[in-house]
Structure 1
Amino acid sequence: MNKNNFIEKTLSEIVTENYKYADIFEKNDLDFCCNGNVNFLEACKKNNIDVSVITNELTKISETKKETNNYDNWKLDFLVDYIVNNHHKYVSDSIPKINEHLNKIVEKHSDNHPELLEIKESFSIVYKDLQMHMMKEEKILFPFIKQMVFVQDGSAKKEAPYFGTVQNPIRMMEDEHKNAGDLLKKIRDISNNYSVPENGCNTYKVTLEELKEFEEDLHKHVHLENNILFPKSIKLEQLLFSTN
């Protein structure tokens, strides 16, 4: 992809083409998941980022690194299973470990680092919200998306959902994605981009690394849903249930 093509696209379109570009966006605090519909050039200007520097970095990646998984070409039922088996599982597996480590460093270091109390409170909100969020996706939204795929394949009968249109739960999921993303960004800001203080112990370091990884995984998780799964599901519903 040449530099002009980057400038003409939105953040989500660029990352959808090659997820390796996400590393550059994350490093420069360019939100490609919850605000992925923003034009690349506009996002750079808003963040006071030199467009030429970013496009050069993106061009280098396009020439050397290829994303092995072309998520945009996957069938929606396969993409749903991938999200559940990888990202939902990651969230469920990570929460107990991060909580345990947060409790330890709060107990040991919060007198000197009171910001840890706010980090713990924010993460508590995030993980409780995400647990409910994932349950709604797995019990309500994702089964309907897979059902639409089966209808399109001719292996199931068409049935309208009780929630009216797939756009209703999708709208709710996108709002919840933004809330989780905002809280994790707050944690990143409070921790000074996950920086370990000089008197921080090994558990302190591990905890911040885990929180950083958790946020990065959520970015990819939300990207797959907001920028690929959800738009394609809306189009599929329109195709299957159009009265025209």
Structure 2
Amino acid sequence: MNNLQTRTVAELVTENIKAAHVFKKYGIDFCCGGGVTIDKACEKANVNVAELERDLLDLDKIVDRASNYNSWKLDFLTDHIINVHHTYVAENIPLLLQYSQRVLHVHGHHYTELKEIHELLTTVAGELSAHMKKEELILFPFVKKLVKAESEGTPVPETHFGPVDNPIKMMEAEHEEAGDLLRAIAKLSNNYTPPPGACNTYRAFYAKLDEFEQDLHQHIHLENNILFPKTLKLEKELRNR
């Protein structure tokens, strides 16, 4: 981790996923906004660079093999994203919407922000559902075809969407939209802090929202910072050979 200030947030998280916890602690976006240098990220978030560097340097230098996503083959990584993160979203969105509806019904008259939170969450649910289907039915199968073409020495398969850069740009834009919606929810909920005396459902709702956002950050990081750049590189290499 030499010359930390000139490295990007995404690079450090890609090298060691534990760095994500440090950036989360300081409120620095490591998924959609991970392409900026540490210097610029700290300036934007009004964070002391020296303190952030100290925490990053204190990270365990040994990366758990199970979390060393940067070394995984792309087809395996797409399966992981589907089996872990897409499954998580599909299973937890209905629960979040149930919590939201119940808390809004009981407490919405007093905590008026709950109505907007519910509306934002409903939008996130719809957008992520459509987004994941596009990845599972279009983009990820093409990634697997690229991996197969590389191993078999065959040409890049034809697509209806042109170069893979086209769907990737769309997915990145949708990631940004989802991130913006979750940030708005976090702000409205005071970073998922339930009000004093909140009932257990209220507390469970905010705790689950916090967990959901953290999973989404990891989900987007794997795609934006690892899967997508490597897919673009692989397609280019195959077309030029």
1:220: which partner in 2? 218
Q: Is the 8 A contact 2:32 2:221 kept in 1?
A: yes
> Letter of the aligned partner of 2:22 in structure 1?
I
For the residue of structure 2 that corresponds to 1:35, the secondary structure is coil
Query: Match for 1:88 among 77, 80, 86?
Result: 86
- Report the residue type matching 1:140 in the other structure: I
Shift of 1:162: 1.4
CA drift at 1:156: 6.1
Tell me whether 133-142 or 151-160 shows the greater mean CA deviation.
Answer: 151-160
Which one-letter code corresponds to 2:100 in the other structure?
Answer: L
CA deviation profile, 1:142-186 (whole Å, cap 9, x unmatched): 000000000101086642211110000000000000000000000
**Sequence identity percentage:** 46
Partner of 1:141: 139
Tell me which amino acid in the other structure corresponds to 1:83.
I
User: What 5-or-longer segments of structure 1 have no aligned partner?
Assistant: none
For residues 150 and 30 of structure 1, the distance between their equivalents in structure 2, rounded to whole angstroms, comes to 37
Q: Distance in 2 between matches of 1:203 and 1:17?
A: 38
Q: How does 1:168-179 map to 2 (within 5 A)?
A: 168-179=166-177
In 2, Cα distance between equivalents of 1:5 and 1:93: 41
Which segment drifts farther, 126-135 or 36-45?
A: 36-45
Name the aligned partner's letter for residue 60 of structure 2.
S
In structure 2, what is the Cα distance between the partners aligned to 1:197 and 1:228?
Answer: 38
Superposed, 1:105-116 pairs within 5 Å as 105-116=103-114
Out of 231, 237, 240, the position equivalent to 2:238 is 240
Task: Identify unmatched segments of 5+ residues in structure 2.
Answer: none
Relative to structure 1, the CA distance from residue 238 to residue 110 in structure 2 (aligned partners, 3 Å threshold; closer, same or farther) is same
Counterpart position of 1:34: 32
Residue 98 in structure 1 maps to residue 120 in structure 2 = no
Q: Distance in 1 between matches of 2:205 and 2:127?
A: 20
Q: In the alignment, which residue of structure 2 is the partner of 1:162?
A: 160
TM-score with structure 2 setting the length: 0.96
Q: RMSD in angstroms over aligned alpha carbons?
A: 1.4
1:56 to 35, 54, 57: 54
Work out whether residues 147 and 156 of structure 1, in 8 Å CA contact, stay in contact via their aligned partners in 2: no
Select which of 59, 63, 66 maps to 1:66: 63
Alignment counterpart, residue 77 of structure 1, candidates 75, 78, 83: 75
Q: Work out whether 1:206 is the aligned partner of 2:173.
A: no
Does the 8 A contact of 2:9 with 2:37 survive in 1? yes
Looking at structure 1, the residues matched to 27 and 192 of structure 2 have their Cα atoms a distance apart, in angstroms, of 14
Paired residue type of 2:43: K
Moved more, 197-206 or 225-234: 197-206
What is the total number of aligned residue pairs between the two structures? 240
After TM superposition, the runs of 4+ consecutive aligned structure 1 residues lying more than 3 A away are 65-68, 155-158
Contact kept, 8 Å, 2:165 with 2:232, in 1: the verdict is yes
Q: What is the CA distance between 1:81 and its match in structure 2? A: 0.3
- TM-score, normalization by structure 1: 0.95
1:25 corresponds in structure 2 to 23
1:124 offset after TM fit, Å?
0.4
Tell whether the 8 Å contact from 1:8 to 1:41 is kept in structure 2 after alignment.
yes
